[in-house]
Amino acid sequence: MRPFLLVIISILMISFTFCKSSENNINENLILDDSKNSFAILPTAKYLIFVPPQSPDNAANFLGRSKSNQIHAKQISLGTGPEEAWIEIKIYNQSKQEEWIFVSEYPWLDRIDLFDVSKGNPIKLGSIGWKENDSPRQIKDRIHAMRVSIPTGKEYKLLVRIESWADKFLSFHLDTEKGFLERDKFPFTLFPAYLQIASLILLVCGVYWYRTKNKLVLFYSTLVVCITLYSAFTEGYAQYFLPKNEYNSKLMFSFAFLYIILLLHFIRKFLNLSEKLPLGENISKVLLVFNCIPLICVWIPEFPAFPLENGGKINLMSTTLLIIGSGLFLLRKGFRPALFSTSGIIISALCINIFELSGMYGIPANDFTRNAPYIGYISEYILFFLGITKIAAESKKSKRSFTNVRNTGRLKGIDIQEISDKLSELMVKERIFCDEDLGLERLSSMVGLSRHQLSEFLNSIYEQNFYTYITGIRIQEASKVLLEEPDRSIISISDSLGFSSRSTLYKEFKKKFGITPDEFRKKNLSKLS
């Protein structure tokens, strides 16, 4: 567990350092000078949020309303559903230039109206936003921007109206021409760099799959693709390629839910939950259903955004908790690859929450918090891939042990892999372990070995004798039946799985799980409910 704790502590320290170092002093006015090329608007602004039809009809009506709230943050969040935010900014221009560019850092705002209210009466400067631009787009236009003339040497008052129909973040800046042109570069956005890294990861995955034919890599690759496409929509790049596509928001939601579904499938295979943790496997199946439902609802005409956005957050949180819980459980059982999946999902969840909460609860909004999800995604990709290679290495090591056993003792000249496959088929498909009269002599003849050869095989490969091997399979199956058939009696389960008596089931079950079958059922069913 020590490496796992070091990873988490390191991420927390980095997060704290970046967040703390970028905090600005809060002033009454936004002071523009020649010291830098970009100035955050919201820390000195005041705002009010309305839900239509309670929102003001126009800027003049808003100015007559009660006093606005002070923001004191670089970023604020709008909730789900139709909302309007009105923001007042007092600006004092001490720089040498009057021409500035008003920039909305997040591209998915429906409409932004700007007003000059320096002289009391609002003068509309113009409108920008998703609904305001039907002309062919360029990449540089993916974020909303408008030129504003701000006189030097005196106070200037700017009023901003924002219209949004979904869960949005608000972050506005006044940039110089140079500052605006640098906005697509680090540290303003990591997406171009992330896109290059994701492409490189997919290339490595392609080569690795070609050489190993590892199906887990294919699940992993689709995760990378889904997150990349989702990010392309949130960053406004997809709208450039599909400028008039009415299905943009539907596609964005679809990629988000597909990511969660694929993540669940990946973790089930990665952690081998069906064998190592049946309870986790059952929970993952329930979560899969809960994610498929909103994926279908996305494409229902006029389906409201509120349940989709909040359902997505709940599903992602539930999936994250399942992965962390399952990973920690299997780590305690000695399954080392779980360290990579658990670390990856914790770092990713931490970074996403830093982004979601930035500008609120004392967490500043800055270049680090703006790009935190990409740091989380890349960390998740790298750790997941390392986990895949770890599992592959252990599997290869296990196959080498088969080769070593093949050339020793009574098993010399015998195809160990073939015998292993026969045993697996007999136990999984034919379920011969359910026969109480099954013995070493009978099982050895079924796989084509002598009783002494089979005994040596079980000791060499599984480090078990015949009794412990068969009993282990029966106990594992009993743990599944206890949860899948909660009303079935213990004695019925015992008889159906080949135990000689109920007391034998109790004795062996407690030896493996540390509790009785009744306690196991009660404990795990209460968790499921």
**Contact partners, residue 5, CB within 8 Å, separation at least 6:** none
Q: Which of 396, 431, 463 is the last residue of a domain?
A: 396
Omega before 486 within 30 of 0, i.e. cis: no
283, burial (CB in 10 Å: exposed 0-12, middle 13-18, buried 19+): buried
Confidence (pLDDT) at 24: 43
Mean pLDDT of 47-64: 75
Q: Could you report the per-residue pLDDT of 332-382, keeping only the tens digit for each?
A: 878 888 999 999 999 999 998 888 777 666 666 666 777 889 999 999 999
Q: How far apart are CA 295 and CA 257, in angstroms?
A: 6
Residue given tokens 């009303």 in the structure block: 487
Domain range for 454 is 406-528
Question: Residues 245, 374: one domain?
Answer: yes
| 170 backbone dihedrals φ, ψ, rounded to 5° | -115, 125
- In this predicted structure, the answer to whether residue 8 has a pLDDT above a threshold of 60 is no
Does residue 4 belong to any structural domain of this protein? no
Does residue 436 belong to any structural domain of this protein? yes
- In this predicted structure, the answer to whether residue 200 has a pLDDT above a threshold of 90 is yes
What CATH number should be reported for the domain holding residue 105? Answer: 2.60.40.2380
Question: Residues 524, 435: one domain?
Answer: yes
Confidence (pLDDT) at 346: 94
Tokens of 21: 């170092």
Confidence (pLDDT) at 403: 54
Q: Could you report the per-residue pLDDT of 113-171, keeping only the tens digit for each?
A: 999 998 888 899 988 776 655 555 555 556 778 889 999 988 899 999 888 765 566 77
Confidence (pLDDT) at 333: 79
- The number of C-alpha atoms within 13 Å of 289 and in the hemisphere containing its C-beta is 5
Confidence (pLDDT) at 3: 47
Tokens of 385: 């891939």
**Pairing relationship of beta strands 111-116 and 123-128 according to DSSP bridges:** antiparallel
Does residue 375 belong to any structural domain of this protein? yes
pLDDT tier, 48 (very low <50, low <70, confident <90, very high otherwise): confident
Does residue 456 belong to any structural domain of this protein? yes
pLDDT tier, 184 (very low <50, low <70, confident <90, very high otherwise): low
Please give the tally of structural domains in the chain.
3
* CA 397 remoteness from chain centre: 31
- In this predicted structure, the answer to whether residue 178 has a pLDDT above a threshold of 90 is no
Q: How far apart are CA 102 and CA 143, in angstroms?
A: 11
Question: Residues 86, 167: one domain?
Answer: yes
Question: Residues 333, 205: one domain?
Answer: yes
- Hey, what amino acid is at 409? G
- In this predicted structure, the answer to whether residue 213 has a pLDDT above a threshold of 90 is no
Confidence (pLDDT) at 413: 67
Q: How far apart are CA 191 and CA 200, in angstroms?
A: 14
Does residue 506 belong to any structural domain of this protein? yes
Q: Which of 362, 396, 430 is the last residue of a domain?
A: 396
Question: Residues 238, 117: one domain?
Answer: no
Query: Between residues 359 and 111, which one has the greater pLDDT?
Result: 111
| 301 backbone dihedrals φ, ψ, rounded to 5° | -55, 135
* DSSP for 135-164, written as a single string: SPP-GGGSS-EEEEE--TTSEEEEEEEEEE
Question: Residues 334, 436: one domain?
Answer: no
Q: Could you report the per-residue pLDDT of 260-270, keeping only the tens digit for each?
A: 999 999 999 99
**Helix, strand, coil proportions of the chain in percent (round to 5)?**
60, 15, 30
For the chain, give the mean pLDDT: 80
Confidence (pLDDT) at 21: 38
Q: How far apart are CA 284 and CA 265, in angstroms?
A: 8
Tokens of 252: 């964005």
Confidence (pLDDT) at 313: 83
CA-only gyration radius of the chain, Å: 30
- In this predicted structure, the answer to whether residue 15 has a pLDDT above a threshold of 80 is no
Does residue 197 belong to any structural domain of this protein? yes
Confidence (pLDDT) at 25: 43
Confidence (pLDDT) at 14: 45
Question: Residues 75, 137: one domain?
Answer: yes
Lowest mean pLDDT among 273-282, 401-410, 435-444, 460-469: 401-410
Q: How far apart are CA 302 and CA 32, in angstroms?
A: 44
Q: How far apart are CA 446 and CA 440, in angstroms?
A: 10
What CATH number should be reported for the domain holding residue 417? Answer: 1.10.10.60
Does residue 52 belong to any structural domain of this protein? yes
Confidence (pLDDT) at 382: 93
pLDDT tier, 17 (very low <50, low <70, confident <90, very high otherwise): very low
Contact 274, 280 (CB under 8 A): no
**Could you tell me where the beta strands, DSSP code E, fall in 94-133?**
99-104, 111-116, 123-128
- In this predicted structure, the answer to whether residue 229 has a pLDDT above a threshold of 70 is yes
- In this predicted structure, the answer to whether residue 329 has a pLDDT above a threshold of 70 is yes
Does residue 15 belong to any structural domain of this protein? no
- In this predicted structure, the answer to whether residue 35 has a pLDDT above a threshold of 50 is yes
| 175 backbone dihedrals φ, ψ, rounded to 5° | -115, 150
Question: Residues 98, 128: one domain?
Answer: yes
Mean pLDDT of 324-336: 88
Contact 19, 368 (CB under 8 A): yes
Question: Residues 261, 228: one domain?
Answer: yes
Q: Which of 155, 181, 207 is the last residue of a domain?
A: 181
pLDDT tier, 38 (very low <50, low <70, confident <90, very high otherwise): confident
Three-class SS state of 89: strand
Question: Residues 126, 240: one domain?
Answer: no
Contact 304, 79 (CB under 8 A): no
Question: Residues 374, 432: one domain?
Answer: no
Contact 102, 153 (CB under 8 A): no
Contact 42, 87 (CB under 8 A): yes
Question: Residues 253, 233: one domain?
Answer: yes
